[in-house]
Structure 1
Amino acid sequence: MPYQVDVAVMIGSGVPKTLREAGKKACWVVLVNGEQRGTAFSTRLEAEECRAAWLAQLGSQHRAYAGNARHA
């Protein structure tokens, strides 16, 4: 199953209260197949690192599934 993993920016009222209270007016989130996964990040770099981790995890799950399907 193909996965789409993206980083999206949220601004204004979409920013969680804790980040707004810290003075942040924007944050970044990771979306897997269009659904937010995990927390909001205060920097794009943090979100990109999380995106890379999701891609690695989903890729290993896909490889394990494909390997099991071949042996079935």
Structure 2
Amino acid sequence: MQSKVDVAVMIGSGVPLSLRVVGKRVCWVLLVNGERRGTAFASRDEALECRAAWLAHLNGTQPEQVSRQAV
């Protein structure tokens, strides 16, 4: 079975309190097969790096190879 790895955006009250107290009103989360994995990210770039690492792990490749192909 092929796993699906996505980055989703959360806004407003969906943003964790730890990010809201520092003024963030938007964050990004990683979804693996529709389920949230890990922490919320303050930037989309951080979430995309995590996505590349997940894809590499699932495919048995290095993250650098995946990030260029999948983003």
The verdict on a shared fold, with TM-score over 0.5 as the criterion, is: yes
Q: Percent identity?
A: 70
SS state at 1:58 partner: helix
SS at the partner of 1:50? helix
Q: Which entry has the higher C-alpha Rg, 1 or 2?
A: 1
2:7 partner SS: strand
Segments of 4+ moved more than 6 angstroms: none
Q: Unaligned 5+ residue runs, structure 1?
A: 61-72
5+ residue gaps, structure 2: 61-71
Q: Deviation per CA, 1:35-71, whole angstroms, max 9, x where unpaired? A: 01000000000000000000000111xxxxxxxxxxx
More helix by share: 1
Is 1:29 the counterpart of 2:29? The answer is yes
TM-score of the aligned structures, taking structure 1 as reference length: 0.82
TM-score using structure 2 length: 0.83
**TM-align CA RMSD:** 0.4
**Aligned residue identity for 1:37:** R
